[in-house]
Structure 1
């Protein structure tokens, strides 16, 4: 302990004995270095979201330049930037688990936006769900994931039915068009979905262990009508519907979606995010 204190005292004396112009120059250089030092990527993401989603409310879509700015920041984030490695327990399953457990790492949430990471072991599934009135950015950090996404059909002629009710005891079904149905492997471009298009309803299936960073603006809110709803999907051909105007060769691109109450095929566990912390200014 005495050695450290003696060394500190010596450094202090040496500094005080420097010529004034040297002191000013050194201090100025250190100040400029501090100003040039970039914040951690997750902090940059937070600061960017504060700007992009400042006016956010239900149905808000950021202007193109803001979308590009946020996409660029997301594109540069790596698993290491958020403290993740593929060998962590989040990405393994055990024989005692009935379904692969998905872990959600909560980073930040306010009334304008939220940031978090879904960690999926192999075969983990986030069932088909919606994002009402929300713009969502997703960045696959590592691994391979199958994404299937839909938009509600709103552009058919008025006489074409877009909802059906299979029976009195079942909820009605609504017609949706498949937008994406493919595997994605990191590194790949962040995906963006919008309140009315871009695949607002989607399902994630882990082909391998994978992690996806999600930014939602604004976040889910029951009080403001942004409730997360889950769905079953059925092939278009499962039901015979008179009067619907869809070309025969396109019918495989359409499916019927039905709200579901029970989620017996998913287990999500919240965990503390242990990566670089967000500093709120």
Structure 2
């Protein structure tokens, strides 16, 4: 009986300590969550975007897409950012062109870059163009902050018939072997304010070009960023209508042909002028 009593007392004391420890941990966790929410409320929108990118891209890499939950979280934060949150106004000199006869120069405001992701803003005057280019192994989030922009984007056609290689062998001498078939994903004007967009390493319009209908600004988040040493080069393309060429064994109904184009790699356009400036909006602090 004495032994049983001692065991009972010991068991009761241990259970009490466990309950006390559990309550303490729960209180600490609740306090931590409240503190985190309080800090987020106090953060500037740009700082909140930076913190979210740190979290979202921490476990990703080339060709690895963030989880659906993280994608939704980042889209939500990005969607809430306005031009004034990053210190931009349409009357700034970035958005005007001094010589209408020349191709307008584009300004890139560098916000942040590390191995996992980069943040920056493209500022385009009216008629400014970012030519057709790719995003190898990247997940890209974009938010049109103001203005009207025409976006045309493509994905590679990878579901060709089994006897047709992805890089086609042409039946016409004018269609070179390095031309690849792509399907138009988007071809439309976008007006701010609008929802942010996302493209993925292999779909969603991985290759795109921007044309400024009016002066506009685009906030871009790339995960991971371009890196020549790591083989993530920015490749430019020339597009050709599908109907310009014919390929043995490849047939697409006539009414669908406008949705397909041939893309061919090209050198960086000589008239593309991008000036890199440091971001001077509300300060973003690295932890």
Question: Which of 148, 151, 166 is the equivalent residue of 2:155?
Answer: 151
Within the candidate set 215, 227, 247, 1:221 is matched to 227
List runs of 5+ in structure 1 lacking aligned partners: 1-30
Structure 2 spans left out of the alignment, 5+ residues: 1-34
1:125 to 126, 129, 141: 129
Selected match of 1:238 from 240, 244, 250: 244
Q: How much is the aligned-residue C-alpha RMSD, in angstroms?
A: 2.2
Q: 1:66 to 1:195 in 2, by over 3 A?
A: same
Partner SS state of residue 283, structure 2:
coil
- 1:187-215 CA deviation, whole Å, 9 max, x = no partner? 00101000010000000000000000000
Please list, as runs of the form range in 1=range in 2, the aligned pairs for 1:141-180 lying within 5 A after superposition: 141-162=145-166, 163-164=168-169, 172-180=178-186
Is residue 191 of structure 1 aligned with residue 197 of structure 2? yes
Which residue matches 1:58?
Answer: 62
Identify which range, 211-220 or 261-270, moves more after superposition.
261-270
The equivalent residue for 2:21 is none
1:169: Cα distance to partner? Answer: 11
TM-score w.r.t. the length of structure 2 is 0.83
Deviation at 1:248, TM superposition (A): 2.4
Mapping of 1:62-141 within 5 angstroms?
62-95=66-99, 98-141=102-145
User: Which shifted more, 261-270 or 191-200?
Assistant: 261-270
Range moving further from structure 2, 68-77 or 167-176: 167-176
Question: 1:89/1:64 Cα in 2 relative to 1: closer, same or farther (>3 Å)?
Answer: same
Q: CA deviation at 1:51?
A: 0.5
Q: Does the 8 Å CA contact 1:161/1:244 hold for their aligned counterparts?
A: no
Distance in 2 separating the partners of 1:35 and 1:139: 24
Normalising by structure 1, report the TM-score: 0.84
> Which residue matches 2:265?
259
Matched, 1:182 2:188: yes
- Number of positions where the alignment pairs a residue of Structure 1 with one of Structure 2: 251
Distance 1:103 1:89, change over 3 A: same
* Displacement of 1:179: 0.3
Specify the alignment match of 1:209 in structure 2: 215
